[in-house]
Chains A and B, each alone.
Chain A
Amino acid sequence: MNLLETVRSAIEAIVSHRLRSALTVLGMLIGIAAVIMTVGLGEGATSSVNSAISSLGTNLLIVTPGSSKSSGGVQGGFGSATTLTYADSLALGTHIVAPAIKAETPTTMSFAEVKAGTKNWSTQIIGTTPTYLAVRDRSVTIGSFFTAADVKKQTDVAVLGATTAEELGLGFDPIGQTIDIGNLSLTVVGVLNSAGSSGATNEDDMVLLPITVAQSQITGSDSVQNIYLEATSQGTLGTAYTEASDELLSMHQIKTPSDADFTITSQSTIEATATSVDKTLTVLLAGIAAISLLVGGIGIMNIMLVSVTERIREIGLRKALGATPAAIRGQFLVEASVLGLTGGLMGAGIGLIGAVVLPHFISNSIAIEWWAVAGSIGVAVAIGLGFGVYPATRAARLAPMEALRSE
């Protein structure tokens, strides 16, 4: 009995039990669709997090105050210490001290309500220097950024994020307008380009002002929140890290590196952490989907066993007519894998439709992973085959006479 005939009679048998076959396929279908969508969801999340992280700027090192390890005494939370200063940042910007560091920018950060005319808006207030643009890979679309002279002379000027300008009613003609933060009045000199949101922070919703103004008028302290460092190239990131670390240790008069009162992280470490979190999530979701595939497979086995019992006379007859055990086994195996394949194909179809339609209803993006689609169809057939082996073997082993005699 050739394969074509086997497939033909398998399809005949499946079609003649429409409802039962449809329900069996449904179990498989749900499993496969779930696999494709969860893998897509995981991959989509990973790639969006990665693109957000890389939008921080390449070759970036971030210095935050406070030690990453506990060293006795009262330790503030990560990033809450006030050990970094504008002077630290300026020192790291010196090429003789740190030749691998191309540029640095310190930032102070606080939240405040900003007023412009009748409008007001709560946003983050960031004090920084003109190198911010280069280090954070941003640009100004309207007007210009404040200058080094503005920082030195503590000029009361501000650059707005696109969203902030919009919310303050300054989207149309912001240059020269005045905004108020508490008692401080600032003149708007420019608006940043739009960068989109990255995770928790909205890169378009902020007010930038000279760090000297921010320190004297808003935070009232000479500490800074972060120092962003740009290495001269990706290859010098390691060198830049060492240079920054050594310089800060000597400036803070700390002898042993393990006592450091600052932490330096690179973009790649953040990315690795975020990616590993996403991978864990993907594995978890895929695990749940795999369980539903397993249930689908057991469904196929169940139906095939019922089918063997129900068609015991047919099996006996086929054997009496000259079917070898191999032919009977083949028939039931093909039947099981056709069920698996049908479920796989339909599940892939539904999964793909879901991957296209769902992002319109939820905020997450779903990446279509063709390896997951092809893989899960393959897995569906394999599950059909695997779970079909036992029923098929039982069918093949039936004694023809016993089978024919049964009612």
Chain B
Amino acid sequence: MTTSSPEVVGTNLEGPLSEHTLEPAGATPIVSLADIHKDYQTGSITVEALRGISLRVDDGEFVAIIGPSGSGKSTLMHILGCLDHPTSGKYLLAGVDVGEMDERALAEVRNRRIGFVFQQFNLLGTLSAARNVELPLIYAGFDRRTRRALAAASLDRVGLSHRMEHRPSELSGGQQQRVAVARALVTEPTLILADEPTGNLDSSSAEEVLNLLAELHQAGRTVILITHDIETASTAQRVVRIRDGLIQSDEAASR
């Protein structure tokens, strides 16, 4: 097990963040990373997973982060999702510094601000599709009837309103991932983080899920897609290449 230091060294960059990004400065960015470092200590060896990542993602963007395995893209995704703390650097999510937050506040940020879609779907096998979609709403403190209604609307959005009471084991891989997307959507998050969402799917299911993410983007949502596959990445509007813990290129996707 690798352990990470939860300590955050705030570099407190007061300068314009646009300096680190290619996009022009506008309204408050959804994601603003400034010189993010992440070291892992494995025994006596220190592994530098991220070596100074600065990135800005604006509201309504669809960004793919692409890189080979070991490039640090998963570590970046964990930091973006507030699942892990950077060793140093500053991360503003919708203008709020998450480095200063305690576990409780981070839980709330993950709950309200971020919708996760994982490669492994991560649905709870004992719960129906609707109950799985309800989970983030439970932690947000919604009452039962509201949860039911919101979950139904979200499942309808991904075209699974006829599968509400099915357990994950009764659904195909593509359907399971759509349930996961519905779960990510249900809290109306600021940011949707999809980590290799098509990694466990056949090509037609993968296309379905990617189309769904593209639709969400068209509807005005901010989506960050993490993948190792160029074709998958080409669904996005903008592609950020990452290698050896550094951003290699950041350009509009070639269609």
Assembly CA distance A401 to B104 (angstroms): 15
Q: In the complex, A319 Cα to B4 Cα: how many Å?
A: 17
- Across the interface, do B108 and A402 meet the contact criterion of CB distance under 8 Å? no
Known A1-B138, A2-B141, A402-B1: A321·B124 in contact at CB below 8 Å: no
Can you name the residue of chain A whose Cβ is closest to the Cβ of B120? A313
Instruction: Type the 1/0 row for A49-80, where 1 means its CB is closer than 8 Å to any CB of B.
Output: 00000000000000000000000000000000
Of B118, B120, B124, B139, which one neighbours A322 at CB under 8 angstroms? B139
Interface string of A383-403 (1 = CB under 8 A from B): 000000000000000011110
How far is it, in angstroms, between the C-alpha of A152 and the C-alpha of B83 when the chains are bound? 104
Are B126 and A16 closer than 8 Å at their CB atoms? yes
Q: Which of A31-39, A244-252, A323-331 contacts B (4 or more CB under 8 A)?
A: A323-331
Given A5-B138, A322-B136, A401-B84, residue A313 in contact with residue B122 (CB < 8 A)? yes
What's the Cα separation between A400 and B78 when bound, in Å?
9
Q: Mark B101-145, 1 if CB is under 8 A from A, else 0.
A: 001100110111000101010101011000000011011110000
Residue B56 lies at the interface, judged by CB distance under 8 Å to chain A = no
Q: Find out whether the CB atom of B140 lies under 8 angstroms from the CB atom of A326.
A: no
- Chain A positions within 8 Å of B110 at CB level: 319-322, 400
Contacts of A327 in B (CB 8 A): 107, 139
Contacts of A319 in B (CB 8 A): 83, 107, 110
* Bound Cα distance A142, B110 (Å): 92
**B104 near A404: Cβ-Cβ < 8 Å:** no
Given known contacts A321-B139, A322-B136, A404 and B107 CB-to-CB distance under 8 angstroms:
no
Taking a contact as CB atoms under 8 Å apart, the answer to whether A12 and B111 are in contact is no
Chain A min CB distance to B209 (Å): 18
Bound-state Cα–Cα, A101 to B183, Å: 90
Q: Are B124 and A323 in contact (CB under 8 A)?
A: no
Instruction: Say whether B107 contacts A322, CB under 8 Å.
Output: yes
| A1-B138, A1-B139, A401-B78 known; A324-B124 Cβ under 8 A | no
**Chain A residues near B127 (CB, 8 Å)?**
12
B81 on the interface (CB 8 Å rule)? yes
Cβ contacts under 8 Å, B111 to chain A: 321-322
Q: Which of B83, B107, B122 contacts A324 (CB 8 A)?
A: B107
Band of interface residues on B: 20 to 34
Enumerate chain B residues within 8 angstroms of A313, measured Cβ to Cβ. Answer: 120, 122
Q: Contacts A1-B141, A320-B110, A325-B107; is A400 near B126 (CB within 8 Å)?
A: no
A317 within 8 A of B: yes
Which residues of B sit under 8 angstroms from A13, Cβ to Cβ?
A: 126
Contact with A along B60-99 (1 / 0, CB 8 A): 0000000000000000001001011000000000000000
Q: Which of A314, A317, A326, A327 has the most CB of B within 10 A?
A: A317
Q: Are B83 and A400 in contact (CB under 8 A)?
A: yes
Whether B139 pairs with A323 at a CB distance below 8 angstroms is yes
Distance A159 CA – B32 CA, assembled complex (angstroms): 108
Mark contacts of A1-16 with chain B using CB atoms, 8 A cut-off: 1 yes-contact digit, 0 otherwise.
1100100000011001
**Chain A residues near B187 (CB, 8 Å)?**
322
Asked whether A399 lies within 8 Å of B84 as measured between CB atoms, the reply is yes
Assembled-state Cα–Cα distance A317/B141 (Å): 17
- B1 proximity list for chain A (CB < 8 A): 402
Q: By the criterion CB–CB under 8 Å, are B83 and A325 in contact?
A: no
Indicate if the CB atoms of B122 and A326 lie closer than 8 Å: no
Across chains A and B, which 8 residue pairs bring their CB atoms closest together, nearest first? A322-B111, A401-B83, A322-B139, A324-B107, A16-B126, A321-B136, A401-B84, A401-B78
**Which B positions have Cβ atoms within 8 angstroms of A?**
1, 4, 78, 81, 83-84, 103-104, 107-108, 110-112, 116, 118, 120, 122, 124, 126-127, 135-136, 138-141, 183, 187
9 additional A-B residue pairs with CB within 8 Å, beyond A2-B141, A16-B126: A1-B141, A12-B126, A313-B122, A318-B135, A318-B139, A320-B110, A322-B111, A324-B104, A324-B107
